[in-house]
Amino acid sequence: MCIEIGAGDFDSSTAKYVIRAKIEIDGVVDKPDVIGAVFGQTEGLLGEDLDLRELQRTGRIGRIQIAIKSKGGSSRGEIVIPVSLNKTATAILAAALETVDRVGPCSAKVTLQKLEDIRGAKRRRVVSRAISILKGWEDEIAPGTEEITSAVSKGRKRTVAKYGPDRLPAGPDFSKADEIIIVEGRADVINLLKSGITNTVAVEGTNIPKSISSLTKEKDKKVVAFLDGDRGGDLILRELMQVADIDFIARAPEGKEVENLTHREITKALQAQIPAGEALSIVSKKPSREPEKAKSVSKERKKPAKTASKPERRVRRPRREPKPTKPQASVDSEYLGKLDDLKESFKAVIYDENKNVVEECGVAELAKKLETMEKVSTILFDGVVTQRIVDTAGAKGTELVIAAAKSDIENKPKQMTILTYDDL
């Protein structure tokens, strides 16, 4: 038996690899306990870009499958994760999975069994099928070129279906699919069909039909809008967000249309889909940014004297370089000594304003521990500083955070200094 935990069905057309690992637990646990341990103990370990929840939300990993059996007071099972990341990120994610050492109150051990290349398996099936086709070539594919071309043309014409009272162009599997892809026109539907994507429907313009609006509001449907990378795509995105419930947005490369994309460009664009709200925010900022750029360019042209700005930048850079050395001098020797013990331990230590240790915990538990505390002066931990950690620590008045690494931090409290091992 196995339980599937995740968002959206696993789509083997976009997944590239499968992580398979075995888990051994010294105690009797349930599947939700294993899921909680996997998500909880990897949170904050690799930064937001490789956080399991973020990867699952953006569709870069599929449903996590857990199979677990208990016998004689211990439990054993398998963890399976389909991944659409590159090889490096997949290897890092597999290594992070092996750091899970507890499930509930029980000690546990996760061991990677293998990384499967889905595309490699598909290639082997293609070879096997090609050999079978060649063996029956004379009997099964004997017709002439004109007959074959005619049959293929007729087959293509039959694949484009019609949907709703507006008779919108759609893929043949559109009405049965749990995930639907909304595109702009009929040509987009046809191009996606060439790549084997059959769950599409075209809105045929910026005036979104009511049938599409109603369809997107069905709770069991995941809705992805795949739009052109031009001004027209921006307009349709804004219209869709007003009248329909869209989950994710995929865009063609800038200046390109979906109907002209290659199979590789289509796959890459769908893998890079982002939440609809985030996509709308990006589009909304475009009009305000472009005039600013134009103004700055015009000012530079009117004032040729600013061409000497390059030497000024060279003067400014040395002023920025000493920044890491300033906090280094202010780091107490007690903290530096503690860091030697923390390295490669995946643990965190929290200090009060008198440099007393008030809490020690695992990196995965740091955010929750901080939420329960009133005042925190310094945090040392062997993990990655994320925006969530910064926001939580900032609310507690934290002045110093030292960690193994840090992700992109957009907002940082003025009183807070963030250092990594490389800064010391």
pLDDT tens digits, 98-114 = 999 888 889 999 999 88
CATH of the domain at 275: 3.40.1360.10
In a shared domain, residues 258 and 198: yes
Nearest to 7 by CA among 46, 47, 44, 54: 54
In a shared domain, residues 209 and 275: yes
In a shared domain, residues 409 and 337: yes
**Does residue 190 fall inside a structural domain?**
yes
In a shared domain, residues 113 and 176: no
**Does residue 183 fall inside a structural domain?**
yes
pLDDT of 21 over the 90 cut: yes
Mean pLDDT of all residues in 74-90:
89
Per the structure, the complete domain to which residue 245 belongs is given by: 158-282
Amino acid at 386: T
**Does residue 145 fall inside a structural domain?**
no
Q: Kindly report the CA angle at 62 between 176 and 248, in degrees rounded to 5? A: 65
* pLDDT above 90: percentage of residues in the chain: 13
In a shared domain, residues 9 and 58: yes
Lowest-pLDDT choice from 29-43, 150-164, 335-349: 150-164
Number of domains in the chain: 3
**Does residue 306 fall inside a structural domain?**
no
In a shared domain, residues 261 and 353: no
**What pLDDT score does 349 carry?**
92
Q: Are strands 74-83 and 102-103 parallel, antiparallel or unpaired?
A: unpaired
Lowest-pLDDT choice from 247-251, 406-410, 416-420: 406-410
Mean pLDDT of all residues in 201-210:
79
E strand residue ranges, 143-295: 161-163, 168-170, 179-183, 200-202, 222-227, 248-251, 274-275
**Does residue 98 fall inside a structural domain?**
yes
d(CA 48, CA 406): 10
pLDDT band per the 50, 70, 90 thresholds, residue 140:
low
Higher pLDDT, 301 or 384: 384
CATH of the domain at 48: 3.30.70
**Does residue 212 fall inside a structural domain?**
yes
d(CA 419, CA 381): 11
pLDDT of 89 over the 60 cut: yes
Contacts of 382 (CB under 8 A, 6+ apart): 342, 343, 344, 345, 346, 347, 348, 363, 403, 404
Higher pLDDT, 142 or 415: 415
Higher pLDDT, 147 or 135: 135
**Does residue 143 fall inside a structural domain?**
no
Give me 41's structure tokens. 């103990």
In a shared domain, residues 95 and 172: no
Mean pLDDT of all residues in 399-423:
85
Go through the chain and tell me how many residues it has.
424
CATH of the domain at 370: 3.40.140.20
In a shared domain, residues 113 and 163: no
In a shared domain, residues 243 and 194: yes
**Does residue 297 fall inside a structural domain?**
no
Higher pLDDT, 78 or 16: 78
pLDDT of 330 over the 60 cut: yes
DSSP track, 314-347: HHHHHHHTTTTHHHHHHS-HHHHHHHHHHTTS-E
Q: Which of 249, 282, 315 is the last residue of a domain?
A: 282
In a shared domain, residues 162 and 60: no
In a shared domain, residues 174 and 60: no
In a shared domain, residues 10 and 66: yes
pLDDT tens-digit series, residues 222-245: 889 999 988 888 878 877 887 788
Indicate the SS3 state at residue 53. helix
**What pLDDT score does 376 carry?**
92
